[in-house]
Amino acid sequence: MGVREFAEALLDVLSSGRRGALATVVATSGSAPQRPGARMLLGPDGALVGTVGGGAVEQRVTSALHGVLRSGQSQKLTLELGPELGMCCGGRMEVFLEAIEAAPRLLLFGAGHVGKPTAALARTVGFDGVSSAIPRRRSGKSS
């Protein structure tokens, strides 16, 4: 899987308005199945994209990603690649696990003297502010 396909899968999660979970290999030592920078994404539907090494490593990371998906809390996972995982590599991997979700959206109706500064403030505190002007009603009277 290429960078483009991975980025598209990540954007799909963000645009869905639901939570996903991302695993990134941040450090390795000794013999390890992947290098730092390898990523795997768990989508809100349970689909996996990318890889962090396969086999027992991937199974352990996938299980931890499901926990992050439920809790929304990031964590670092350290894996010793030895007999406990049924491996003989003898290496070590550190994987950062994080919840991925779009910024909350704030819908503002009206773009006047209150709506415009409210939208600006909403963006500074992490909202995806959307402003929509509502036309004024005209009285049916002619002048």
pTM: 0.74
Kindly list the domain boundaries of the chain, sorted by start residue.
Answer: 3-100, 103-143
- In sign, the C-alpha dihedral spanning 15, 20, 26, 31 is negative
pLDDT (tens digit per residue) in 61-117 = 999 999 999 999 999 999 988 888 777 777 899 999 999 987 777 777 777 788 778
pLDDT (tens digit per residue) in 38-66 = 999 999 999 999 999 888 899 999 999 99
In angstroms, what is the C-alpha Rg of the chain?
22
